[in-house]
Amino acid sequence: MVAVLVGFMGAGKTTVGHILAERLGQPFVDSDVLIEQRLGRNIRDIFATEGETYFRELEHATIAELVRGQEAVIALGGGAVEDPRTRAVLRDTSVIYLRIDYKEALARVQGDQDRPMLRRPDLDEVYRRRLPVYEDVAVITIDTDGRRPDEIARQVLAELTRLPALPPTAEACSSPPSAAPTTPTSDAG
């Protein structure tokens, strides 16, 4: 299973993601950390030198690769779902929205110098603009305000077990047809 965590910064995607991955026996990948590792630079620097548009292109390509890859728990950056191409990639995935109040999100991340979005004067508008997008892509929504990460992870796991099986990925559907099925034969004949 590929499980994808979305939500505004400070919602607990990385912390809860690590717990989920451990309990599911799957690797955990934070798309932002993967981008930083691949480029050898932090996101703050990428935003400052190449700009947000460049970063969002890298982000989309990275997420598309992750979602189509091995089973994993994946945490996305808060703005990843604003790209319609990324939303399309997430369509057949178990997306979990970790919902957080704006004031609580800011309280959790204040002083974090590695979050370039904190410098935006319109951050409250960005938050409000993203809320319906998070809701739209999610198959599960979990409130995180005032809750411990392990409690949130337990609820996510419980909700995941209630989901119906997802359809095969687009790649599996587009593979060439195999030979006609064979009926097992018996030598007892």
Residue 37 belongs to some domain of the structure: yes
Residue 44 belongs to some domain of the structure: yes
Q: What is the pTM of this model?
A: 0.83
Residue 158 belongs to some domain of the structure: yes
Proportion of the chain above pLDDT 90, given as a percent = 69
Residue 70 belongs to some domain of the structure: yes
Q: 3-state class of 5 per DSSP? A: strand
Residue 171 belongs to some domain of the structure: no
Residue 179 belongs to some domain of the structure: no
> Domain span at residue 20?
2-166
Q: pLDDT band for 165, please (50, 70, 90 cuts).
A: low
pLDDT tens sequence across 80-118: 999 999 999 999 899 999 999 999 998 888 877 667 677
Residue 82 belongs to some domain of the structure: yes
Our count of domains for the chain comes to 1
Whether the predicted pLDDT of 181 surpasses 70: no
pLDDT tens sequence across 25-64: 999 999 999 999 999 999 889 988 999 899 999 999 999 9
28-30: strand order across its sheet: 28-30, 72-75, 2-6, 94-99, 140-143
CATH number, domain of 111, equals: 3.40.50.300
